[in-house]
Amino acid sequence: MLVAAYGFPPVGGAGVQRVLKLVKYLPAHGVTPTVLTVANPSVPVRDATLERDFPRELEIMRVRTLEPPYGKKAAAWKARAAPSEVARLTRAVTAVAKQLLVPDPQILWQPAAQAALAMQLVRNAPDVVFVSGPPFSQFLLAPLARLRKGVGVVLDYRDEWSTYRTTYEMMGSLAARVADSLEPALLRSAHAVTTATDEFRAHLLARFPFLDPARVHTIPNGYDPDDFASDLPPPPEGRLVVTYAGTIFKLTSARGLMGAIRRLHREEPGLAARLEVRFLGRIVDTEADAFVGMERCGVRRLGYVSHGEVLRQLAASHLALCLLDDVPGVERIYPAKIFELMHLGRPCLTLSPEGALTRLVRKHGLGEVIAPRDEEAIARYLANALRTFVHGAPSSHTPRDEAGIGRYHRHSLAGEFANVMRLARACAS
């Protein structure tokens, strides 16, 4: 079978884990994957350590995108803010690009990706083509794959197309309307569809009644015990450490938490001095202002680190932090990192509106849930946690429900994907 994924190691970040672990464990379920990915990804982070999960005989086809390097894109974004003629020109060019690059900038990978897939279909057609988005321009591979009789097509939603578009603010209104008509057309090319949450699935079926519910399957994200070293460090004794791992952007804004920390320092400075909050990962420019001056409040920005180091930092914490801000569609989302926190067993402070994430956290007893902008409640929770810590009775572990979380083992999830692929192949026959 062929797996098409723009985000694949050495590309880093949480978005690559679903496909990477699928490729790692599919051979154990009788499926041999080949990967089609980009040779020169225009991405902000890389993590070559993830390549250790590649199966020994994995074939990877890497073809080039026409996108500019990420560094050049970042420089252009910064130039837009300058009060100059160059900045005005840059803003104008960016606006045009948002209208033309539909459904996303990675559409510039499609010429090479389509050619590579066409060659595969002619020479040695795979029995299944599996395409995981975002970026959702990859779904354009589905109609081409469907042309070859007997090839099953599976489209995988790691995120919702509509929510992803509005959250990342990636396109203009005209391009958004084009994308709205493009999604159902591409879904009609699929023999099967997989989604990351039950809420994604229900919303997709409600939006597109032509979909057969029997061909739309929920397969969540998960954890891989192999990622957790046997010598993970314990939390320190001198301060209460809270750690967040992931990108901070509109969907995962930390503004409510930063306000709560400032409030705690104003009201109980002696207690607040024992608090350290670590952020691992990128903080996008539009959210950076929330962190200004927070170093003096014990907030540390460590930037992007390797996946293995993320798990070490989370282990060396008394509390893990999970963030979702109050934005449209958030009730159908949970961050993939929550499953690794399940396996790790650290108590999790979840700042999120009610929805899929809060139900998951409560179901498995992972920790406290507070609304993301309720600064008073967040500050009160942190103060109580600090008092418990100061009095020497903190718990750095939650009881792990091995039976309850077993479904989220990446090996088990790969088996669920393998079953969907067999169904898609049968539908194509």
Residues (pLDDT < 50) of the chain are 169
225-402 fold: Rossmann fold (3.40.50)
Q: Which residues pair with 320 in a beta bridge?
A: 243, 348
What are the start and end residues of each CATH 3.40.50.2000 domain in the chain? 2-68+102-222+409-428, 225-402
Residue 74: how many other CB atoms lie within 10 Å: 12
pLDDT for the residue 169: 46
pLDDT for the residue 113: 98
CATH 1.20.1740.10 is right for the domain spanning 2-68+102-222+409-428 = no
